[in-house]
Structure 1
Amino acid sequence: MGLDKEPGPAAEPADAAAAPLLELRDLHVFYGAIEALKGVSLTVAEGEVVALLGANGAGKSTTLKAASGMLAPRSGEVLLRGERVDGIKSHELVQFGIGHVPEGRRVFARMSVLENLRMGAYRLKRPDPADLDRVFSLFPVLAERRKQISGTLSGGEQQMLAIGRALMGKPELLLLDEPSMGLAPLIVQQIFEILKEINAQGTTLLLVEQNAAQALQLADRGYVLETGEVVMADEASALLSHPRVRAAYLGEVTE
């Protein structure tokens, strides 16, 4: 189901005078001859939770990869606190305060939980023990399983580990790609409660999530992508009540 393109003034954060923490300007990203992003623009203000919604193939993961340096845009700009960072490689961009939790978790399956977490702090000369304490406080199960080989964890535990590993790099901005994918509803609820706490502790979140209801209940604002373009942008509460969003992403039938 298509959505009419409806970006409006509510697409921007309320404090428009302050430079956004992250800004994507007119991004065009290609996979070979296929244009995956067709001029995507969005902003994420410091302290916000912003949801990025859309069907499979809409360009959500591509947007995150472009923001974190994993993909180079053919044109357009990625700005962090007003400074261009497009063209900087992803392993270097981590030092600018961006953490990326990829789709599918991607833990180091043959390494222990503790070794995975320490890998998340590779950019720090001396990892702060307080960061490990923070992760174990957010995810007590990881503390219990710190010596366990990561590949033997459940899907939910691996997702917690992937988030914890990203937090070990002290990100100001955390990009999350489908954190609820393949998880039982009870675990999904637990993950989103933890994300709420992470944001309350001061980490800004840009969240790709097909569970639109869960994402918009957490988010301050949201964008809807369709075939590589932003077709809607608004406050999360407005998107959650929008009949077209409810029909396309919440499974409601409208007349």
Structure 2
Amino acid sequence: MSLLELRDVHVRYGAIAALRGVDVTVESGEIVTLLGANGAGKTTTLRTISGLLHPHTGQIFFDGRRIDTLPPHDIVGLGISHVPEGRRVFPRMTVTENLAMGAYRLGRPRKSDFDRVFALFPRLAERRHQDAGTLSGGEQQMLAIGRGLMSHPQLLLLDEPSMGLAPLLVEQIFDIIKEINEQGTTILVVEQNAAQALALADRGYVLETGTIVLSGPAPELRIDPRVKAAYLGEGVA
């Protein structure tokens, strides 16, 4: 049984079909990436998994339980944490206060939870008393991921974690994502940096206009001529 399974999921924004018959599976312990151009449906897929949107038709299962009719806070309680595109930190709250918000479903956050995040992101430990709005873009991304970890998720949804970051920081963020996975958290990541995403992931799916057009092990997608031409900046001979 897969940890996460989307079965023939269709999502609409009014008359516009955003997802058309999407089938995705994520096995426990994997890193899976969703690739595609802007508007392909990647963010919509994550928002539908986390309950911010509901399918027009289709079903979503997490750990054997159907979740596509549940509200977002119940889905968090089941073990899914969503780190949204654009970080969405609380700018007038401190780093520590932002992290504590990630643990709201658990009640009072534990010291060990803060310790784990600060071990992964030492820069956040140095800035724990600063308002989040004073952090750099890279630090805010670290904070957003750290906040997502505070609820002890089985599955972490990451939406464009490298967006707007300098190349050196992108490498650092991806190294930390790999470490989070090695610590036991399954990850589904949406990422426009296809080369980085495929180097990180076990498997991948390619979305075009709301439809899965390619899927497979990440090493196979990296050498697929269609992926190389469309997403890796390499021409097809």
- How far is 1:92 from its partner? 1.7
Aligned position for 2:140: 158
Segments of 5+ residues of structure 1 without an aligned counterpart are 1-18
State the partner residue of 2:101. 119
C-alpha distance in 2 between matches for 1:242 and 1:67: 28
| Secondary structure, counterpart of 1:146 in structure 2 | coil
Which residue in the other structure is 1:12 paired with?
none
Aligned partner of 1:151: which letter? G
Letter in 2 for 1:95: G
The offset of 1:91, in angstroms, is: 1.6
Q: Verify: 1:250 aligned to 2:236, yes or no.
A: no
1:142 matches 2:132: no
Query: RMSD value over aligned CA atoms?
Result: 0.6
TM-score, structure 2 normalization: 0.99
Match of 2:44 in 1: 62
Q: CA deviation at 1:131?
A: 1.1
Which residue in 2 is equivalent to 1:32?
Answer: 14
| Structure-1 separation of matches of 2:218 and 2:54 | 29
Please state if 1:207 is matched with 2:189: yes
Q: Find the aligned partners of 2:73 and 2:124 in 1 and give their Cα distance.
A: 25
Distance in 2 (alpha carbons) for counterparts of 1:156 and 1:211 = 16
Match of 2:24 in 1: 42
Counterparts of 1:51 and 1:125, CA distance in 2: 31
List 4+ stretches of structure 1 deviating above 4 A.
none
> Shift of residue 128 of structure 1?
2.1
Tell me what 1:80 maps to. 62
Choose which of 72, 80, 88 in structure 2 pairs with 1:90.
72
Identity rate of aligned residues, in percent? 68
Q: TM-score, normalised by structure 1?
A: 0.92
What residue in structure 1 maps to residue 209 of structure 2?
Answer: 227
Task: Using the TM superposition, name which of 120-129 and 211-220 deviates more.
Answer: 120-129
Match of 2:87 in 1: 105
Specify the SS of the correspondent of 2:73. Answer: helix
Q: What are the ranges of 5 or more consecutive residues in structure 2 without an aligned counterpart? A: none
Alignment match, 2:170: 188
- Please name the residue that 2:53 is paired with: 71
Structure 2 match to 1:5: none
- Counterpart check, 1:179 vs 2:161: yes
1:3 is aligned to: none
Which amino acid in structure 2 is aligned with residue 54 of structure 1? G
CA distance, structure 2, for counterparts of residue 81 and residue 244 of structure 1: 33
Distance 2:188 2:27 in 1: 10
Distance across 1 between alignment mates of 2:220 and 2:147: 33
Deviation at 1:152, TM superposition (A): 0.8
1:240 counterpart (219, 222, 227): 222
Q: Which residue of 1 aligns with 2:5?
A: 23
In structure 1, distance between residues paired with 2:18 and 2:26: 21
Q: CA deviation at 1:126?
A: 3.0
Partner amino acid, structure 2, of 1:176:
L
Deviations 1:200-234 (A, max 9, x none): 00000000000001001110000000000000000
Which AA in structure 1 matches 2:210?
Answer: G
Number of residue pairs aligned between Structure 1 and Structure 2: 237
